[in-house]
């Protein structure tokens, strides 16, 4: 196995393990140990580390070709719209049948929310871009080279969803993670079409902002 391939495998394993730490309920001095956020940092580092071997300099992350990528891949544009629909749908259903979901999501995302609206939006922008680079640009892209695309996107979205796990009732947590999984899959499909994490970042960022306002 080539040295580069070994480092990719190691990065994939570390990211997967870190994404699962929230559900392990590990506590230190009574505080729940949450390391899933570090998986994003590791994923970003891994992306740029492996990117050095790409034949195309800006492969996987090219801000200059966003509009061209969407223009050349109309399917990606349609897929990019779907997260807004799932966002509204999940909120409407939650408001009617599971109002506790909103509080659960607010608590889960409290670290990114502040009274300063601009600061909150900028924080979401940075966090979602990091997630797209780590999970779509690196994890999904690299696992697709090892296994077929459908298992890859399922694995990526499952780990991505579990990385958003926060303690709560089974129904509330399952509902929350289900829609995270669905949205992650949609972001993954956009990335597959465009091979550009900027393109999958746009619906991710806008869906999170819309969700914030709806909640």
Mean pLDDT across the chain: 91
Global pTM value = 0.93
State mean pLDDT over 189-196.
97
The DSSP bridge pattern shows strands 31-32 and 27-28 to be: antiparallel
CA-closest candidate to residue 141, choices 18, 2, 21, 8: 8
Percent of the chain residues topping a pLDDT of 90: 73
Residue 6 to residue 4: CA distance in whole angstroms: 5
Two tokens at 19?
Answer: 């994404």
Percent of the chain residues topping a pLDDT of 70: 93
Each domain of the chain, given as residue ranges in start order, spans: 3-214
Chain-centroid distance, C-alpha 11: 17
CA-closest candidate to residue 139, choices 43, 62, 73, 17: 43
59 falls in which pLDDT band (50, 70, 90)?
confident
> How many Cβ atoms from other residues are within 10 Å of residue 27's Cβ?
9
Two tokens at 109?
Answer: 């995302």
Q: Where are the alpha helices (DSSP H) in 52-169?
A: 66-72, 74-97, 100-108, 117-131, 141-144, 149-162
| Cβ pair 159, 20 in contact under 8 A | yes
């Amino acid at each position: 196995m080539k040295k580069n391939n070994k480092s990719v495998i190691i990065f994939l394993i570390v990211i997967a393990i870190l994404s699962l730490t929230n559900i392990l309920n590990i506590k230190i001095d009574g505080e729940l140990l949450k390391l899933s956020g570090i998986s994003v940092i590791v994923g970003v580092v891994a992306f740029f580390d492996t990117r050095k071997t790409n034949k195309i300099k800006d492969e996987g992350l090219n801000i200059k070709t966003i509009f061209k990528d969407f223009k050349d891949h109309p399917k990606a544009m349609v897929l990019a719209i779907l997260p807004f629909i799932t966002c509204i749908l999940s909120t409407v259903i939650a408001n009617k049948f599971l109002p506790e979901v909103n509080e659960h999501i607010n608590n889960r995302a409290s670290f990114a929310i502040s009274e300063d609206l601009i600061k909150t939006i900028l924080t979401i922008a940075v966090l979602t871009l990091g997630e797209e680079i780590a999970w779509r640009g690196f994890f999904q892209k690299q696992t697709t080279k090892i296994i077929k695309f459908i298992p890859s996107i399922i694995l990526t979205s499952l780990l991505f969803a579990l990385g958003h796990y926060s303690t709560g009732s089974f129904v509330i947590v399952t509902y929350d993670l289900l829609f995270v999984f669905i949205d992650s899959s949609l972001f993954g499909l956009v990335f597959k079409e465009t091979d550009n994490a900027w393109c999958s970042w746009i619906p991710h960022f806008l869906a999170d902002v819309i969700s914030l306002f709806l909640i």
